């Protein structure tokens, strides 16, 4: 019998009210969403009053009323349809139609607004209703192609072309367990890419490139979807070896080597690290002694642990860029780079060179890493990469940079492009794993206590949503950040790169750690399936692991970043004016550390917690306060007579925290600027939510610090936690679209669980 006590217009709100009360979805701050939605609906004042009283958190409906709602809904026999844009609105309309048949084609706008703005998801209510769940095709308001396009931006042409190239059979996925076969395959792929012009992409036009790093960075990150070994080998050959010639050499070196390097006709390695000198490059022991009589430089490995180690491409290369202490007229001029032929045309090692395979590694076994020893190997003086230091015809050392410390950091600074690419590669690894884990979570069903409905998708567990949605949001924030930084790098190349070096140091560390944590989470999120090699996460985990160490160990890099922040990017950390700079920075920041307003500390409403002003201010405040306290502490130690190095060690852990805080603040700021560039308003809102999720998660992760500093009240901290969970469930329907938005070519998704 079709009888019930509500008017036909009010009736469609009953399933909503039932869900809201059953799942505790309305808080005092959200009542406004409900109010403004019904205000806009075609309801009379009596109906509005009645609805508001039924949604009043201060006076919840009785259990009896809620039981009646449930009976009314069940009696309609309407079943839920999952995976449509507004499942609860559609369900509610159908229930209302059952009692008052007023067939309509369009869903009520007010219901849709409540469903969207309160973030009500099927997992909040599907257990509440009778019947079997119907699954309909995924219809949502966002499109992965649009998301992909937004992210590709100005690089679209290069990316699309490269994605087409990846269709070639040479990039089909193969599982290797033999390092020699793997290395040979990767070498072929590198040569193929070089033939197609991708090796030289980052070089100047005269040497086959376009004189920009940005498209090169996009190519680099795409290679991660093929094989991380290929990414790294490609990076070593064209980025590290070729890049050292381009950035540390001059025209004579470019003319002689860059064309053949870009075409992979000359294979080279970048020999910087030594067994006992990795992070401390300044302290490497290899010597390069200039002999004026023969106009040659003698490269030598002095002691048993002074050999080069972990050098990529060591087994395949004919050339090496060797980093060594340059000795001219008996004086050490500091670390310089020298080109050295290590193999002859027949591929045999030259006299005085010893190379040993590093053997099997945890990952990246398609890359031939090895040790290299130099036993008094002579190379012509012209092989000195002489952009920052040269030897004149009289045999004297000359340099455009007087200060040897500054010269050293300037030389290393030119290699920062490689560091951006490493962060980009690691991020691609994370995106790849997130794609696989998300697709699996949208396929795999698991426990459900109600026997008459299907098991839940694992993606419908709030814990799973948190595990995947938060890193998905972060991946977009970091992608936009790295894309901006690499564009900036293209514009400041050959100028003052100090600020960008600081930014990249902080980002490389933060993002490669993020990638490793994410890949591990994705492995676990796929359960046992994630452990199978066919599903690709296992190898990815082992491959991306080392991204935290090479191109700068993360712990060391964060200190470098903090030094840049502390000195306001103005000066070298070890310069004489360092104490003055600390004083300046301390004073400058203390002026900006305004007193915290107690109203702000306690504010927990949705508008405030979702506002980018709150996020930016919170992230900035943390960086500023950490900078101020680190500068004050160091000044105090130095003033009491402690040498600056000891003072630095005293605050070392503090600096590491500062480096990471700086990366978070910078990333979020870049992302909010990026949001303004998105023309499509609907998708812009989706991206805004991703930014909010990133910011709130960052604040929550550091909640103890904010609580200690009185920046957040405990209530606010709890409210942020609740908001995070809600945001994840609000974004859950778009999980699939978001990971498709990465634009990973279909052929690269070989994992059976992701199909």
Least spacing, CB of residue 430 vs ligand FAD, in Å: 19
How far is 340 from 381, CA to CA, in rounded Å? 11
The 3-state secondary structure of 669-734, one letter per residue: HHHHHHHHCCCCHHHHHHHHHHHHHHHHHHHHHCHHHHHHCCCCCHHHHHHHHHHHHHHHHHHHHH
According to the binding rule CB under 6 A, does residue 657 interact with ligand FAD? no
- Closest approach, Cβ 665 to ligand FAD, in A, equals 23
Contact mark string toward ligand FAD, 252..271, x via CB under 6 A: ------------------xx
**Among residues 388, 550, 621, 628, the one that binds ligand FAD under rule CB under 6 A:** 550
Q: How far is the CB of 199 from ligand FAD (least distance, A)?
A: 16
> In whole angstroms, what is the distance from residue 311 CA to residue 263 CA?
21
Q: If binding is defined by CB under 6 A, does position 357 make contact with ligand FAD?
A: no
Rounded (5°) CA angle 527-529-532: 125
Q: Which of 476, 525, 475, 462 is nearest to 726 (CA)?
A: 462
- Least Cβ distance, residue 273 to ligand FAD (angstroms): 3
**Between 149 and 644, CB nearer to ligand FAD:** 644
Does residue 556 touch ligand FAD according to CB under 6 A? Answer: yes
Nearer to ligand FAD, 166 or 556 (CB): 556
Residue 236 lies near ligand FAD (rule: CB under 6 A): yes
b/e sequence 130-149, b meaning 16+ C-beta within 10 Å: beebeeeeeeeebebebbbb
Q: Which is nearer to ligand FAD, 311 or 430 (CB)?
A: 311
Residue 313: CB minimum distance to ligand FAD, A? 7
The sheet that has 369-374: what strands, in order across it?
Answer: 308-312, 369-374, 353-357
Residue nearest to ligand FAD (CB): 278
Q: CA-CA distances (angstroms) from residue 337 to 237, 313, 388, 575? A: 16, 17, 10, 24
- Per the DSSP assignment, residues forming a β-bridge with 340 are 320
Alpha helices, DSSP H only, in 27-86?
31-40, 45-54, 63-76
Min dist CB 549 to ligand FAD, Å, is 5
Report helix, strand or coil for 302: coil
* Shortest reach from residue 361's CB to ligand FAD, in Å: 6
Please identify which residue in 357, 553, 572, 725 interacts with ligand FAD, judged by CB under 6 A: 553
CB-wise, 550 or 671, nearer to ligand FAD? 550
Q: CB-side exposure of 695: number of CA atoms within 13 Å?
A: 27
Residues 285/232, Cβ–Cβ less than 8 Å = no
- Strands (DSSP E) found in 74-202: 81-82, 134-135
Least separation in angstroms between residue 281's CB and ligand FAD is: 8
Q: How far is the CB of 203 from ligand FAD (least distance, A)?
A: 19
CA distances (Å), origin 726, targets 310, 692, 719, 720? 46, 12, 11, 10
Q: Applying CB under 6 A, does 542 fall inside the site for ligand FAD?
A: no
Does residue number 190 form part of the binding site for ligand FAD (CB under 6 A)? Answer: no
Compute CA 422 distance to the chain's CA centroid, rounded to the nearest angstrom: 11
* Cβ-based nearer residue to ligand FAD, 65 or 275: 275
How far apart (Å, rounded) are the C-alpha atoms in residues 743 and 741? 5
DSSP 455: P
Please check whether residue 611 is in contact with residue 643, taking contact to mean a CB–CB distance below 8 angstroms.
no
- Integer CA distances (angstroms), 750 to 203, 359, 498, 503, 680, in order: 33, 28, 42, 35, 32
- Report helix angle 214-223 to 462-492, nearest 10: 140
**Binding to ligand FAD by residue 272, rule CB under 6 A?**
yes
Q: Which CB sits closer to ligand FAD, 300 or 369?
A: 369
Q: What is the largest CA-CA distance in the chain?
A: 110
Work out whether 433 is an interface residue with ligand FAD (CB under 6 A): no
Are residues 238 and 193 in contact, defined by beta-carbon separation less than 8 angstroms?
Answer: no
Q: Report the distance separating Cα 18 and Cα 73, nearest Å.
A: 9
Which span (337-345, 412-420, 543-551, 575-583) binds ligand FAD, by CB under 6 A? 543-551
Return the residue of 4, 247, 273, 438 that touches ligand FAD, per CB under 6 A.
273
CA distance 570 to 582: 11
What is the Cα–Cα distance from 502 to 637, expressed in whole angstroms? 24
Cβ closest to ligand FAD, residue 14 vs residue 367: 367
Smallest separation (angstroms) from ligand FAD to the CB of 245:
15
Torsion of CA 608, 613, 614, 616, to 10 degrees: 150
Minimum distance between the CB of residue 648 and ligand FAD, rounded to whole angstroms?
Answer: 10
> Hey, is 321 helix, strand or coil?
strand
Q: Which stretch binds ligand FAD (CB under 6 A): 61-69, 98-106, 306-314, 503-511?
A: 306-314
User: What residues between 369 and 428 interact with ligand FAD by CB under 6 A?
Assistant: 369
Least Å distance, CB 510 to ligand FAD, is 15
Q: Which is closer to ligand FAD, CB of 420 or CB of 525?
A: 420
As a whole number of Å, the CA-based R_g of the chain is 30
Site size for ligand FAD (CB under 6 A) = 20
Check binding of 549 to ligand FAD (CB under 6 A).
Answer: yes
Q: Least separation, in Å, of the C-beta of 163 and ligand FAD?
A: 27
Q: Note whether 555 binds ligand FAD by CB under 6 A.
A: yes
Rounded least distance, CB 239 to ligand FAD, Å: 10
- Counting contacts by CB under 6 A, is residue 89 touching ligand FAD? no
Please report which residue ranges of 640-651 form alpha helices under DSSP H: 644-650
Q: Which is nearer to ligand FAD, 471 or 659 (CB)?
A: 659
Question: Which of positions 311-350 make contact with ligand FAD (CB under 6 A)?
Answer: 311-312
CA–CA distance, 744 with 739 (Å, rounded to integer): 9
- Pick one of 50, 68, 81, 279: the residue that binds ligand FAD (CB under 6 A): 279
**364 binds ligand FAD per the rule CB under 6 A:** yes
Q: Note whether 574 binds ligand FAD by CB under 6 A.
A: no
Residues interacting with ligand FAD, by CB under 6 A?
Answer: 236, 240, 270-273, 278-279, 310-312, 361, 364, 369, 546, 549-550, 553, 555-556
């Amino acid at each position: 019998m079709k009888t019930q006590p509500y008017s036909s217009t009010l009736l469609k709100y009953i399933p909503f009210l039932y869900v809201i009360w059953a799942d505790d979805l309305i808080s005092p701050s959200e009542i406004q969403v409900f109010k403004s939605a019904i205000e806009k609906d075609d309801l009379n004042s009596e109906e509005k009053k009645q609805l508001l009283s039924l949604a009043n958190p201060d006076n919840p409906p009785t259990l009896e009323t809620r039981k009646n709602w449930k009976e009314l809904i069940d009696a309609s026999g309407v079943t839920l349809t999952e995976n449509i844009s507004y499942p609860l609105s559609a369900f509610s309309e159908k229930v209302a139609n059952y009692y008052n048949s007023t067939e309509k084609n369009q869903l009520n706008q007010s219901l849709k607004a409540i469903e969207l703005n309160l973030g009500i998801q099927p997992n909040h209510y599907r257990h509440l209703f009778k019947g079997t769940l119907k699954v309909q095709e995924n219809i949502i308001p966002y499109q992965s192609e649009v998301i992909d396009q937004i992210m590709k931006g100005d690089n679209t042409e290069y990316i699309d072309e490269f994605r087409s190239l990846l269709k070639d059979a040479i990039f089909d996925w193969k599982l290797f367990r033999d390092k020699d076969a793997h290395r040979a395959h990767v070498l072929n792929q590198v040569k193929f890419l070089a033939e197609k012009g991708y090796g030289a992409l980052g070089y100047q036009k005269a040497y086959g490139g376009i004189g920009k790093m940005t498209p090169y960075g996009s190519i680099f990150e795409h290679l991660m979807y093929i094989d991380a070994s290929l990414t790294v080998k490609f990076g070593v050959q064209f980025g590290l070896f070729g890049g050292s010639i381009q950035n540390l050499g001059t025209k004579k070196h470019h003319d002689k080597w860059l064309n053949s390097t870009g075409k992979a006709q000359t294979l080279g390695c970048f020999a910087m690290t030594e067994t006992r000198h990795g992070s401390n490059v300044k302290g490497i022991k290899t010597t390069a002694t200039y002999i004026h009589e023969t106009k040659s430089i003698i490269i030598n490995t002095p002691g048993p642990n002074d050999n080069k180690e972990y050098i990529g491409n060591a087994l395949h290369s004919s050339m090496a860029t060797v980093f060594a202490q340059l000795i001219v007229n008996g004086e050490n001029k500091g670390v310089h780079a020298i080109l050295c032929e290590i193999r002859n045309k027949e591929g045999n090692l030259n006299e005085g060179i010893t190379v040993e395979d590093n053997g099997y590694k945890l990952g990246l076994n398609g890359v031939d890493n090895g040790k290299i020893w130099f036993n008094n190997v002579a190379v012509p003086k012209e092989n000195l990469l002489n952009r920052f230091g040269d030897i004149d015809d009289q045999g004297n050392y000359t340099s455009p940079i007087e200060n040897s410390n500054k010269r050293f950091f300037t030389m290393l600074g030119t290699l920062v492009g490689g560091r951006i690419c490493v962060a980009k590669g690691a991020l691609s690894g994370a995106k790849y794993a997130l794609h696989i884990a998300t697709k699996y979570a949208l396929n795999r069903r698991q426990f459900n206590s109600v026997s008459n409905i299907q098991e839940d998708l694992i993606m419908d567990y709030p814990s799973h949503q948190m595990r995947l949605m938060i890193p998905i949001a972060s991946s977009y924030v970091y992608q936009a950040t790295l894309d901006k930084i690499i564009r900036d790098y293209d514009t400041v190349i050959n100028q003052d790169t100090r600020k960008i070096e600081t930014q990249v140091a902080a980002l490389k560390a933060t993002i490669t750690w993020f990638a490793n944590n994410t890949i591990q989470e994705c492995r676990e999120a796929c359960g046992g399936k994630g452990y199978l090699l066919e599903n690709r996460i296992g190898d990815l985990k082992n491959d991306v692991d080392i991204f935290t160490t090479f191109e700068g160990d993360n712990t060391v890099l964060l200190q470098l970043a903090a030094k840049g922040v502390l000195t306001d990017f103005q000066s070298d950390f070890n310069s004489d004016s360092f104490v003055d700079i600390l004083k300046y920075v301390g004073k400058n920041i203390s002026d900006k550390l305004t007193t915290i307003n107690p109203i702000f500390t306690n504010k927990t409403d949705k508008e405030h917690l979702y506002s980018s002003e709150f996020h930016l201010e919170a992230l900035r405040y943390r960086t500023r306060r950490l900078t101020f306290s680190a500068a004050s502490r160091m000044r105090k130690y130095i003033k009491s007579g402690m040498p600056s190095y000891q003072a630095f060690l005293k605050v070392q852990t503090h600096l590491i925290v500062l480096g990471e805080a700086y990366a978070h603040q910078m990333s979020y700021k870049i992302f909010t600027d990026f949001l303004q560039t998105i023309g499509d308003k609907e998708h812009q809102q989706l991206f805004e939510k991703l930014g909010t999720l990133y910011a709130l998660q960052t604040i929550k992760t550091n909640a103890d610090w904010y609580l200690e500093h009185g920046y957040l009240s405990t209530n606010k901290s709890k409210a942020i936690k609740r908001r995070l969970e809600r945001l994840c469930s609000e974004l859950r329907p778009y999980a699939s679209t978001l990971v498709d938005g990465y634009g990973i070519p279909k052929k690269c998704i070989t994992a059976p669980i992701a199909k």
